[in-house]
Structure 1
Amino acid sequence: MPALRKLSIASLGTAVISLGAVAPANAAAFYNITGLDFLPSDINDKGEVVGEQYLWQAGKVTDLTTIPGANNSPISATAINNNSKIVGGGLNAGGFSDQPFIFDGTAITDLGRPGDFCNEFCPPTTAADINDANVVAIGYVLYSGSERPVTYIQDESGTQTEVLFDTFAVGINNTNQVVGYSPARARGSGEGRLWTENNTTTLLPANAPEFAIFGTSIADINNLGQVVGAGPEFSFPDNSQAQIWSDPLNNSIGTILGTLGGSTSRANGINDLTQVVGAYSLADGSTEHAFLWENGELVDLNTLIDSASGWELTSAVEINEHGDIIGIGNFNGEQRGFIASAKPVPEPTSTLGVLVGVFGLVSWRKRRVKR
């Protein structure tokens, strides 16, 4: 069934929109929206969500500042892996403030400090991400008041390996590939970087002139080594657009994902099904909307939810392997976090039902192939 394999959520959304005269608007709601009282930063495959100082698990919210070891610190959670281990920054420990931490489900523990820099001085340090082997990607600023970041990885034994200099860490995958980006310099915006087994690859923006290596900001990497972020569209240099590096070790030049009417966009997250989420600007520049990209199709997430829900989804932050999406939106005019979960597949009793059934079959086939 080759036609089914090519069908994506994005193209399905386009098809359903075209059926407006056939089906009620609310019938095109493929996602249930759950509101969050904090702004999320990561979601694992169990559907557990972290963000700010909070952990969300099936409706239960835990304030991480109340966990033993938090030391009344203004901690902030950045990532959660499939072992439910959480990392972040902002911990007061060992006489120093703004340090990295890990939460193992029982207590919060200081991850230690980078190398020998903390005898008398300890820079602000944040754990940016953690993979399923519990290896953590950590970033710190080398000198106070400067923009000289360093990225290193730390395993469960505490062994530290410096991987990227002059680079803010943003992600690590299960093969210990690390991505980040350099700060902006006088020559232009930052430079995206990928570290793999002691080799560093510079991630170039799409359509860049030979001399223009700057301009990318990196957001995420999946277990296939695919990277997403944003970079300039050199036909219109001020218009940074969402990009994907599908095989960066063999082709370090990005591919633009596009926009939906506006001039700018950015990709924030990617899963192992190569589903990408992010945000794009509306044509009038008034605000942003969350998007989902898959198989070359870009769709506004707002077209896949109940139009009477009261939600306007402004940015999608991350997507897990089940297609659950977290992000930020406005609910009845108030900014909140959200979880968008795919609805159960209905019986195919109509043209729309057939399309939704096909969507469910495609998702099931993908998960089965992956397993």
Structure 2
Amino acid sequence: MRQPARCLPGLLLSAACLPALAAAPAQAPAKAPRYTITTILAGQFDHVEATGINNRGDVVGGTYVSGQEWRGYLFADGRTAQLGSLGGLYTRVQAINDARQIVGESKTLDGISHAVLFSGATVTNLTPWALRDSGASGLNGAGSAVGAIPCDCLDFHAARFVGGGVSDLGTLGGESSNAAGINSAGQIVGWAALAGPYTPRAFLYENGTMRDLGTLGGEWSDAAAINDAGHIAGSSSLEGGGEHAFLYVNGVMSDLGALSGMGSAARGMNNRGQVVGLSYQGWDVNEAMLWEGGAVRNLNSLIDPASGWHLNDAGAINDLGQIAASGCHEGLGVCGMLRLDPANMLPVPEPATWAMLLAGLALAGVRSRR
């Protein structure tokens, strides 16, 4: 990822530096930007991610600072708030539904990560019995969550969490599996290992059966999201090496393509069939991506270049076309969680002022991993 110059030394981004965001170069774009940018959280982090967005425009994600732990955040009603934990210092969140239920994982005081569900001020441990790490990655509108739980083996299995109960979804014959997404019909996707040498494959779980979705010619694949039509987005290795995002519709896995470079990966999709993710352009250099209608689009070409932001990853997209993304500001030397709003959509709630958003937050430098 591109490393912007720092605006200020130290850990906190002061209010004196914030006006520089608005004072980006005044060069006009060649054409009107398709998306405007709402900054949710920005600072000097070792890693920052925006992982989920609902149809209200609420965004969840997190930050990591070397020597500390992951912190989870919710952006709603124009404000960004840090989420709680199960007693430890680690919280990482992955998905949010329209009821503002949020799933992820959080550590207890004994240092074990547990799958959690946030609902209002309540944090529910979905695996209080677990003596090893578990986590939740996906959530549907009814509050059914999916993720992974420790199994009787030395690894973990894909799981579904419903009404206080947990179901082990099994594997494709190997030792491990993980569920990443669930739609309104209860169809579940993720990856599971085949029997024999470790080989993960994208799966669809429905009617009590886990099905291998195949690959784009390589050995492995991984499903990241499923919409209410049963369309699936994910990533797969290619026959000649590398990996590309895929879209799986009616039994056929199609290569979504990538920009020139190392490959691409899909992170999320909506009920309109739009898919978001990233394209790997080189070591630590990524471009946030949008795939729609057969087109491969670099999201950086769809925003105003005068904003100063470079978008590195897009983690989720809602049915209004709003995108949860992460990126770096070239001038200020910060990275952040961002929301991309279609320029022609109805107004959405404005964020609180920068000072309100960032006051008291420890900020640390910006390097995003793949």
> TM-score, length-normalised on structure 1?
0.74
1:218 positional shift: 1.8
Runs of 4+ in 1 over 6 A off after TM superposition: none
Match of 2:183 among 169, 173, 186: 173
CA contact (8 A) 1:96 1:122 kept: no
* Residue in 2 that maps onto 1:231: 236
Question: Which structure dedicates a bigger proportion of its chain to strand?
Answer: 2
1:285 positional shift: 6.2
Match of 1:76 among 71, 83, 92: 92
Q: Hey, what's the Cα distance between the residues in 2 that align with 1:171 and 1:86?
A: 13
1:221 aligns with 2:230: no
1:262-273 maps to which residues of 2 (within 5 A)?
A: 262-273=261-272
Matching residue's letter, 2:322: D
1:22-101 maps to which residues of 2 (within 5 A)?
A: 25=29, 27-37=31-41, 38-52=48-62, 53-65=72-84, 70-92=86-108, 97-101=112-116
* Residue in 2 that maps onto 1:103: 118
1:112 positional shift: 3.3
1:30 positional shift: 1.1
Q: Hey, what's the Cα distance between the residues in 2 that align with 1:149 and 1:216?
A: 18
1:185 positional shift: 8.9
Match of 1:245 among 233, 244, 248: 248
Structure 2 unaligned regions, length at least 5: 1-27, 42-47, 63-71, 347-370
The structure with the larger Rg is 1
Matching residue's letter, 2:147: I
Deviation readout 1:104-161 (Å, 9 max, x if unpaired): 1122122234xxxx4xx622111212211111113123268x4x221221222x2332
Amino-acid identity (%): 26
1:162 positional shift: 2.1
* Residue in 2 that maps onto 1:151: 158
Q: Hey, what's the Cα distance between the residues in 1 that align with 2:260 and 2:294?
A: 16
Change (3 A) 1:78 1:26: same
* Residue in 1 that maps onto 2:305: 307
* Residue in 2 that maps onto 1:342: 342
* Residue in 2 that maps onto 1:196: 206
RMSD of equivalent CA atoms: 2.6
Change (3 A) 1:171 1:338: same
1:188 positional shift: 6.1
SS at match of 2:307: coil
Number of aligned pairs? 299
Question: Which structure dedicates a bigger proportion of its chain to helix?
Answer: 1
Deviation readout 1:181-231 (Å, 9 max, x if unpaired): 13599846421111011121101112x3xxx6x310221111111111111
Q: Hey, what's the Cα distance between the residues in 1 that align with 2:60 and 2:345?
A: 28
1:26 positional shift: 5.2
Change (3 A) 1:204 1:330: same
The higher-RCO structure (CA 8 Å, 6+ apart) is 2
